[in-house]
Amino acid sequence: MREAHPIEQAVGIDHYVSDAEGIGGVLRTEPDDFRVTELEAFEIADRDAPAGGYPEIVCRVTLRSWDTNDFARRLSNALGISRERVSWAGTKDKHAVTTQLFTVTKADPDEIEELSIDGAKIDVLGRAGRPLSFGDLYGNRFSIRVREPQRPDAVGSITDELAAFAGSDRSTGNSSIATGDSEITATIGLPNYFGQQRFGSQRPITHEVGLAIVRGDWRGAVLSYVGSPAETEPERTQTARAFVDEQAESADPDWTAALERMPGHLRYERSMLHRLAEDGASTDADFRHALEAVPSNLQRLFVNAAQSYVYNRILSERLGRGLPFDRPIEGDVCCFADRDAPEELYAPDPDRLQTATDRRLKTMRRHCERGRAFVTAPLVGTETDLADGEQGDIEREILEELSIEPGDFSLPGAFDSTGTRRAILVRTDLSVDPETLRFEFALPSGSYATVVLREFLKGGPIDL
């Protein structure tokens, strides 16, 4: 197998599935090169439904070059309301054209329709009884163009390999078509890795913070986030982080001086340093207090990133051992498909689990072959039951190597996590225009388009 980029290996992604040379190229030259449309899973009532029972105004918004959080702030400012009254189901990439739902609490639908915000098209759809929350979508449909490829003819051979990985009987078309011929179509599969965005493309550090938290090393968690300079950062930022590392080694650290050196735009780092300077930072409780200076969603993200890293490591080990992803082996824990998901999605339902024992192994293999079930790996938490057989060995070996166990995720406040399981194979019906190199496919919620594109470009995470 072809080795992954070193930055990917740092977050647990060790290999590519396909051995063929990548096509090269770049993404996001123009916003239209990266289009994302939500596959919605949210109940919407008529616009004239009573406001008392349906206080949320539901809008479908198409954004060009807008960060989701920034648009929510701009929308709330335009309406003269609190930012907390604007909600959405999934955060989207800024360098793209994105279509997604927003809800606005107790707003005037006519006033929303009259707004004029550059780069935003807002359509009021109706009302809802509750605001959108994270995960109120089945997945996303992608249309992504690759520009300036070095080896465009490699698309066919890469697609062939990924179709085989999905299962030899899953191809929906001739994937070995050279550039300039008709459309390439196939059902492809690949490891359902967490993409680089989960950890940071320029400075992949969030999982290291999370692992320190899970081990109870609050000091190490803070210093990993505030210190640890990366070569990809501006020189001033590197210097400030290096000074933090120096103070951490000092018998009498000067956290106030570290705060003064930290650039103003690094507000989370500054918030932590401010608490260190105030508290004196002599105990674990002081460092935990510093870490809790960041919003609760970021606190959860640290632990989620640690879980994602462990999961990626487990998938890489399974891949390295040559074990199948499209069907179970003895002891695997499988989940069934989401019966409510749109037909274009191969979407798992991690709440419906079944262990593939020798008695059930043939049945679960048959379900997986027909797209009715998926093999899973754990996002480890306090309620995680590990697999049996060789997959269970892999899970236990990775956890032992990292010196963590499920019970360690019993943590205070927003850091606590019960865990879940996640399908190890992401499968999608891919269509590629060989002339424009525009890739079209749909993925379930939580799966990454960049995990698909990395197999084709093979240029490293910064290119994605």
| Average pLDDT taken over every residue of the chain | 93
d(CA 414, CA 403): 22
Range in 260-269, 274-283, 384-393, 395-404 the model is least confident about: 274-283
Q: Quote the percentage of the chain above a pLDDT of 90.
A: 87
The 10s digit of each residue's pLDDT in 180-238 is 457 899 999 999 999 998 998 788 999 999 999 999 999 999 999 999 999 989 999 99
Is pLDDT at 87 greater than 90 in this prediction?
A: yes
Is pLDDT at 374 greater than 70 in this prediction?
A: yes
Is pLDDT at 169 greater than 70 in this prediction?
A: no
The 10s digit of each residue's pLDDT in 329-349 is 999 999 999 989 998 899 999
Is pLDDT at 171 greater than 50 in this prediction?
A: no
Catalytic site residue 160? no
Read off the pLDDT of each residue in 414-422 and give the average, rounded to a whole number. 96
User: Which contiguous run of DSSP H or E holds residue 210?
Assistant: helix 206-214
Q: What pLDDT, on the 0 to 100 scale, is given for residue 91?
A: 86
Catalytic annotation, pick one of 33, 93, 332, 408: 93
Q: If you write DSSP's letter for every residue of 96-121 in order, what string do you get? A: SEEEEEEEEET--HHHHHH---TTEE
| Nearest-5° Cα angle at 157, 428 to 184 | 55
Dihedral over Cα of 443, 447, 453, 456: its sign: negative
d(CA 238, CA 219): 20
pTM of structure: 0.92
Which CA distances in Å does 410 have to 56, 109, 381, 406? 35, 43, 8, 8
Range in 56-60, 252-256, 294-298, 408-412 the model is least confident about: 294-298
Q: What pLDDT, on the 0 to 100 scale, is given for residue 368?
A: 94
Is pLDDT at 168 greater than 70 in this prediction?
A: no
Q: What are the helix (H) ranges across 235-295?
A: 235-249, 255-261, 267-279, 284-291
Q: What pLDDT, on the 0 to 100 scale, is given for residue 399?
A: 98
Domains and their CATH numbers in the chain:
6-32+139-192+426-463 (3.30.2350.20), 42-134 (3.30.70.3160), 201-294 (1.10.1510.30), 303-423 (3.30.2350.20)
Is pLDDT at 178 greater than 50 in this prediction?
A: no
Question: Regarding predicted confidence, which is higher, 191 or 280?
Answer: 191
d(CA 150, CA 256): 50
Phi, psi of 271 (to 5 degrees): -65, -40
d(CA 241, CA 227): 4
The 10s digit of each residue's pLDDT in 30-86 is 999 999 999 999 999 999 999 999 999 999 999 999 999 899 999 999 999 999 999
Q: What pLDDT, on the 0 to 100 scale, is given for residue 268?
A: 95
Residue 342's CB is within 10 A of a number of other CB atoms, namely 15
- pLDDT band with cut points at 50, 70 and 90 for residue 263: very high
Question: Regarding predicted confidence, which is higher, 459 or 410?
Answer: 410
Is pLDDT at 243 greater than 80 in this prediction?
A: yes
Q: What pLDDT, on the 0 to 100 scale, is given for residue 181?
A: 56
The 10s digit of each residue's pLDDT in 294-306 is 999 899 999 999 9
Q: Quote the percentage of the chain above a pLDDT of 70.
A: 97
d(CA 150, CA 179): 12
Q: What pLDDT, on the 0 to 100 scale, is given for residue 173?
A: 42
- pLDDT band with cut points at 50, 70 and 90 for residue 359: confident
Q: What pLDDT, on the 0 to 100 scale, is given for residue 182?
A: 76
Amino acid at site 404: I
Read off the pLDDT of each residue in 439-464 and give the average, rounded to a whole number. 92
